[in-house]
Amino acid sequence: MGALAVVIGILLLGRLLKLIALFADKGVEWGVMASMMAAILPYFLIITIPMAFFFAMQHVILRLYQSSEMDAFRAAGISFFRLFRVLFVVAMVLAVLLEVTAMHWMPQGQKLFQGLLMAIQKMKPAPGFEPLRFNQDLENFTIYVQGQDAEGRFKGFMLEDRRSTTPVVYMAETATLEHIADVLRFTLFNGVRLEGQANKLRSIAFERYQVGMDLGALGLLKVPTWNIRSFEMEGTALWSAIQDGTARPDMISEWHRRLLMPTTLLVLFLFALPLSHTAKRSSKASSYLLGIGIMILIYNVQLALHQQVTHGDAHWYVMWLGQAAFLILGLWLFRRASQDRIPSLMEQAWVRAIFSRKKVVKS
């Protein structure tokens, strides 16, 4: 959980920094940003849970080696397969939960996130009212002001409300504007409310009157409608399109990507032991660096193969061949580590790490 908090915190912070400037320019409520972060969370979880599990497993193995507990286990005849079978069961459970997330919650979150992002990018700026000019920036509203007093109140205020079939006109000596959550609220002082036309015209005099306007209804923050893209489609919809033969290459690649991404947790499970199989005096940093390197390699290969299938340059099974290659490599390294026969290339890396550490200490 600690590793997950760190990894997902880094990803959320990166996305947050990209959105802050946009929110500041548009004057959007920060609650909308919280909704967007919650919407993108399922996608981040699919990426970060395998990473967090891998780092946590590396941390456990390295501590067992550093404290000689691993030597005690091995001397007692306890194999690595027996030591890590509980972690393997946990990894399987997490992989299943990630599959459900990828097929159901992730596309819903992606659709909401992209919709809010497009709405903010196309959002109209907060209305500004120039004196002695009819302002029609707000949908279904026309506003006219003569000016502002020293306290910032509008003088000679007129508001036409066309939201219903019967037009309503408000005229007031002064008025104030407040922006509360997702509502613009005008407070009118000493005026009259006119409703209807001709013989059906009705008037109501008031000392204080409030008119509220929902930002979404005004078009200031309106989520647009568009043709649903493949990464926003739920798993059942993707599978139906594939079965009907109407699926585009991007739908096929998206379906297999969602099936494949959770299996990365099982692949990283196999790499955790050989990458953490170190001597007691070796540096932990080198193990973590190797772990980061293998994760970057796996995710980049997945991304490259996914792009190839999306563009129709390769068949869907290419994505699985790439994952199978990492799985076979992980199995081979895990078996070698369980036999205390780490490949010579990795042994040389550990020796260099120890040697460089000694040189630093000596200097």
CA distances to 289, 299, 312 from 285, rounded to whole Å, are 6, 21, 41
| Per-residue tokens: 117 | 């992002």
Q: Closest by alpha carbon to 65, among 283, 296, 298?
A: 283
Q: Closest by alpha carbon to 258, among 57, 31, 42?
A: 42
pLDDT band for position 224 (cuts 50, 70, 90): low
**Residue type, position 320, single letter:** W
Strand partners, 206: 191
Confidence check: pLDDT of 220 > 70: no
Task: Tell me the DSSP string of 17-74.
Answer: HHHHHHHHHHT--HHHHHHHHHHHHHHHHHHHHHHHHHHHHHHHHHHHHHTTHHHHHH
> Is-above-0.75 flag for pTM?
no
Task: Tell me the DSSP string of 189-219.
Answer: EEEEEEES-GGG-EEEEEEEEEEEEEHHHHT
pLDDT at 279: 58
**What's the DSSP call for residue 12?**
H
Q: pLDDT for 14-41, tens place per residue?
A: 888 888 877 776 666 677 778 888 888 9
CA distances to 48, 58, 298, 324 from 10, rounded to whole Å, are 10, 20, 19, 29
CA distances to 10, 267, 299, 314, 320 from 305, rounded to whole Å, are 26, 17, 10, 8, 9
pLDDT at 46: 92
Burial 288-306 (b: 16+ CB within 10 A, else e): bebbeebbeebeeebeebb
Beta strand residue intervals within the chain, DSSP E? 141-144, 147-148, 154-161, 168-180, 183-195, 202-214
CA distances to 7, 180, 332 from 328, rounded to whole Å, are 27, 58, 6
Provide, for the chain, the percentages of residues in helix, strand and coil under a 3-state DSSP scheme, each rounded to the nearest 5. 60, 15, 25
Q: pLDDT for 66-95, tens place per residue?
A: 888 888 888 888 888 888 889 999 999 999
What's the mean pLDDT in 126-155? Answer: 77
